[in-house]
Structure 1
Amino acid sequence: MAIADDNAFELPKLRSSFTLENDTEFLENDNVAGTALLFLLFDKFFDVKFCPYQPLDAAPVFAAISKKHDVNDLATSPADSSIIASASGDTSIRIWSLDPVHANRPCLVILAGEANEGSVAFYGDCILSRACHDNVISLWRIEGFSSTNPPPTESEAPTAQTTVPTNYEEASRLTRSAFVPTISPQCPSQYTMLLQFHTPNCGPQFFMRFKLHFVPDQHPVLAFCNAAGNVFFWDFERLVAYREFMEALRDPGRDKGKQLPHPSWMRPVKGRPKDLKGRHGGGDKDVSSAFRAEAIRLNEEIGGDYNVETLETWASRYSQDDPHEPLKAHKTESSSANFVGRQTAWSPGGEWCVVVGSSNQALILQRWSNKGSTSRTSASASAPPSASTQNGTA
C-alpha cells in the first residue's frame, strides 16, 4: 500500500538517544597522561553505518565507531559488493577487492590527493560536497559529464598537479576536468554550482559529514547535524513541488478569485504590524535580502494571495532561483546544544536516521511512524539530475 503524499513529504522526528559510558575513567591512575589520551580518543563517535544487505522488511541494524582511525570512511560499490573504497588520513583513496583472486594483492589502486574535503556524495550525475568552515553544503554539476557516456580516454585525462593551492581563488584556477572539451567553446566553465544548503553554527569543527538518502521511489532527503545539536533536513522533492506551485500561482490564466491550494508543508506566515516587523518583517529572521526582494516582487505579481512574509519564508527554503543564496533547512530537530554531530546514516528503507557525535552519543530519528509502507512512486524523485539538466535539481 503506497503512503499518501503528505506522508511521503514527512521528515524525521527525534525519537530517542543514548550515550555509551566511557570506561577509560576506570583505568589505573598511575598513567595520567595515557588515560587522558585514551579519553580523547574514545569520548566521541566518529562514524555510523546501517547494514545495507538486509531485506527492507527486516529490523534495521546499525554500527557506530567511537575511535577515529587512519581510515576515515569506507564505501561498498552498489554494483559489486566485493569492491570497497577507503578514505584515509593521508588524503588518499584506496580501492580494494574482496574477490579471492586478489587475495595476495587486494589493493587495486591508490588515488592520491592533496586536499581535505569533509563530505561528498553523488546525486545522479551531480555532486554534493561540504568543506570545513564553509557552513554550506553545495550541489554541483560537472559540465560535459554524463554517466551514460564512455569514460574519457587516457589522452583526455588531466595530468597530475604539481602546485599546491594556497587559497580558494588559486584552487579554482588549478581545477581541471576531462569533460570540458565535450561541450561548446562558448561554455568553458568546468563546473556549475546549482544550489547551496545552509549549515550554520559549525565553527572550526572538522570531520562533520552529511548523508543523502537517495533510493528509487522515495524522495531524496539530505541530513546534516551541526556543532550545536541541530539536525537539518532538506527534501529535494519539495523544491520541485514548490517550483510547480509557484508556476501555477503565476499563471495569468488561473482564476484569481479562488486561492490556489498550497502543499501542507508550505505553511503561511502571519504578517505582523509594520512597527513590529523591524528589518526582516514577520517571516524568518536572518533571511537574505535577495529572498526578501523576490517575495516583494512576487507579492505584487500574484495580487496579494499570500503576504510578503509568507513568500519570503517559502523562498528562503525552496527557491532555486539564486544558487549563491543557501537554502534554510526544511526541518530542524534539536538535541543538546553541546552535541557535535560527526556522521549521519539512513536505514535502507529510509524510515530511520541515526546521528552520532560527541560524548559517545547517538540520536535516533524516525519518520512514517505507524504509517505502513514507505514506498511511493514519484517521477521527479526517481529521476536524478543529469548532465542535460540545466536548472535546479530535477
Structure 2
Amino acid sequence: MAITDDNAFELPRLRSSFTLENDTEFLENDNCAEFFDVKFCPYQPLDAPPVFAAISKKHAFHDTGRYLLSAAHDQIINLWTLPDLPTEAIQTPARVHYPHFSTSAVHSGIIDCVAFYGDCILSRACHDNVISLWRIEGFSSANPPPAESEAPTAQTTVPTNYEEASRLTRSAFVPTISPQCPSQYTMLLQFYTPNCGPQFFMRFKLHFVPDQHPVLAFCNAAGNVFFWDFERLVAYREFMEALKDPGRDKSKQLPHPSWMRLVKTRSKTDSKGRQGGGDKDVPSTFRADAIRLSEEIGDYNVETLETWASRYSQDDPHEPLKAHKTESSSANFVGRQTAWSPGGEWCVVVGSSNQALILQRWANKGSISRASASASASASVPPSVSAQNGAV
C-alpha cells in the first residue's frame, strides 16, 4: 500500500481571536452578547483574500437542489422533496405539505444542526455529545425524485405498540420494514463532542468541496475546536487491511502515515501515578480488539492500536470517534457556529462574548491548490457511494 503524507492531510491551527464590544447594551429584550452565526462569502475566486461575517442573533439543501433537510426543537428531522419550480410568474406559491422522510428516532434532544454529506446526513442534538452520520435507506439522489403523492402522512401509519419502529420514522423510500430491510435508516458513524453540557444552538460545519478532503469542524462549550478528516478514515482502513494481509512480508514493518502517531507503552503505574498508556477513556471494545490484533501481528503495541482505533475505526458505528485534532482557546468560550473559507485554508468559529476564533492550515507551506491537495491522496468517497462496503 502506498502511503502519501503531504499537506493535504493537515488540519487547522488556532492563529488569532478577537472580541467585539457588547452590542446589546441598548437592547431591552436581549442582553446576551453572543455571535450565533458566521459565513464566508462564497462568491469570490479561490485565490482572493477570504472574507467572512459574524452575525449576532436549520436547514440544509442537497447539492442537486431537489431535496431539503429541516430540523427543530421537536427532535424531528424531515427530508423534503422540492417540486419542479415554475419558470414564469405565478399568483400562488407551491406548497409542500408532507416530507418524504421524517424521523424522531435519531436524536433525543433539541436538534441544532443538519447537513448533507453526499446522500448521507450529518446531525447533532443537545445533550447527545455526538455528531451523527447516517443514511436514509432506499434514498438516492441519482433516482428520479419521488412524487408528492408518495409522501407518507401521519395517518398512514397506525402503530400497534410503543416499540414499533414506524411510530418514530416514516419514509417513502422504505414504507415498511422487513427482514430484507429491517430499518428505514442506518447509523454509519458518530463523532465524539465532549463538554457540551446543556448548551444548544451549537453548529458544526463540514468542509466538502471537490478535490479536497472532507473535514468536519465543531467547537464545544469549553473552547475546544474539534476536527475530523474523513480521508483519514479511508487511509486508516486501507492501512489496517494491508497490515492484516497474511501474504505481506512481515520481516519489514509497514510504513504508516505520520498522523497515525505511535504511543509509547507505559508501565501499569508511571512516575506520576497514571495508569496505562494511550488515550484516556478508550472504549473497552477498542482495547479488546487492540490486544488481540497486537498479539496477531506484533508490529505495534496495544496502546498504539487502541488509540488509532478510537479515532479512525469504522467497525462500530455506535462507538463515537475522538477528534483527529483539537485546538483550544478560552475555557469560557462557547462555540456557536463554524465556517470554512471556500478554499479550505481558513476556519472561523464564533460564539459567546462576541468572540471569534480564526484557524488556519497550510500556513507555512503556501496556499495549496485544490488540485494538488488531492493529487497524492485517494479520492474521498461519500458513504452513500461506499455503503455496500460498510465504510465512509
> What TM-score comes out, normalization by structure 1 length?
0.82
Cα distance in 2, alignment partners of residues 364 and 332 from structure 1 = 14
Residue 326 of structure 1: CA displacement?
Answer: 0.3
Q: In the alignment, does 2:173 pair up with 1:174?
A: no
Cα distance in 2, alignment partners of residues 153 and 75 from structure 1 = 21
> Which amino acid is 2:203 matched to?
R
- In the TM superposition, 1:97-176 aligns within 5 A as 116-160=110-154, 173-176=167-170
Residue 46 of structure 1: CA displacement?
Answer: 0.4
Residue 141 of structure 1: CA displacement?
Answer: 1.6
- In the TM superposition, 1:28-43 aligns within 5 A as 35=28, 37-40=29-32, 43=33
Residue 377 of structure 1: CA displacement?
Answer: 2.8
Q: Structure 1 stretch 227-236 or stretch 100-109: which is displaced more?
A: 100-109
Residue 162 of structure 1: CA displacement?
Answer: 9.8
> How many residues are aligned here?
371
Kept in 2, the 8 Å contact 1:98–1:106? The answer is no
**Match of residue 297, structure 1, among 279, 292, 298:** 292
Residue 333 of structure 1: CA displacement?
Answer: 0.3
**Match of residue 281, structure 2, among 280, 286, 290:** 286
Per-residue displacement from partner, 1:330-384 (whole Å, max 9, x unpaired)? 0000000000000001111111111000001010101111423232236753432
Kept in 2, the 8 Å contact 1:269–1:282? The answer is yes
Per-residue displacement from partner, 1:214-260 (whole Å, max 9, x unpaired)? 01100000000000000000000000101111111111111111111
Kept in 1, the 8 Å contact 2:59–2:114? The answer is no
Kept in 1, the 8 Å contact 2:69–2:77? The answer is no
Residue 160 of structure 1: CA displacement?
Answer: 3.2
Kept in 1, the 8 Å contact 2:70–2:114? The answer is no
Per-residue displacement from partner, 1:312-336 (whole Å, max 9, x unpaired)? 1101000111111000000000000
Q: In the alignment, does 2:49 pair up with 1:59?
A: yes
Give secondary structure in 1 for the equivalent of 2:295.
helix
Q: 1:16 to 1:152 in 2, by over 3 A?
A: same
The answer for the alignment partner of 2:383 in structure 1 is: 385
The answer for the alignment partner of 1:373 in structure 2 is: 368
Q: Structure 1 stretch 53-62 or stretch 339-348: which is displaced more?
A: 53-62
Q: 1:114 to 1:44 in 2, by over 3 A?
A: farther
Mind listing any 5+ residue stretches in structure 2 that lack a counterpart?
A: 105-109
Cα distance in 2, alignment partners of residues 325 and 85 from structure 1 = 25
Mind listing any 5+ residue stretches in structure 1 that lack a counterpart?
A: 28-33, 68-72
Give secondary structure in 2 for the equivalent of 1:296.
helix
Cα distance in 2, alignment partners of residues 245 and 231 from structure 1 = 27
> Which amino acid is 1:226 matched to?
N
Kept in 2, the 8 Å contact 1:280–1:286? The answer is no
Cα distance in 1, alignment partners of residues 296 and 77 from structure 2 = 52
Q: 1:218 to 1:186 in 2, by over 3 A?
A: same
Kept in 1, the 8 Å contact 2:268–2:275? The answer is no
Q: 1:184 to 1:332 in 2, by over 3 A?
A: same
The answer for the alignment partner of 2:329 in structure 1 is: 335
The answer for the alignment partner of 1:243 in structure 2 is: 237
> What TM-score comes out, normalization by structure 2 length?
0.83
Residue 170 of structure 1: CA displacement?
Answer: 7.7
Kept in 1, the 8 Å contact 2:72–2:112? The answer is no
Give secondary structure in 1 for the equivalent of 2:241.
helix
Residue 385 of structure 1: CA displacement?
Answer: 2.2
Give secondary structure in 2 for the equivalent of 1:144.
coil
Kept in 1, the 8 Å contact 2:120–2:134? The answer is yes
Cα distance in 1, alignment partners of residues 37 and 85 from structure 2 = 22
Per-residue displacement from partner, 1:255-274 (whole Å, max 9, x unpaired)? 11111111000110011013
- In the TM superposition, 1:317-336 aligns within 5 A as 317-336=311-330
Give secondary structure in 1 for the equivalent of 2:336.
strand
Give secondary structure in 2 for the equivalent of 1:38.
coil
The answer for the alignment partner of 2:21 in structure 1 is: 21
Cα distance in 2, alignment partners of residues 219 and 18 from structure 1 = 28
Kept in 1, the 8 Å contact 2:71–2:111? The answer is no
> Which amino acid is 2:173 matched to?
F
Residue 98 of structure 1: CA displacement?
Answer: 12
Kept in 1, the 8 Å contact 2:113–2:125? The answer is yes
Residue 103 of structure 1: CA displacement?
Answer: 8.9
Structure with the higher fraction of residues in helix conformation: 1
The answer for the alignment partner of 2:184 in structure 1 is: 190
The answer for the alignment partner of 2:351 in structure 1 is: 357
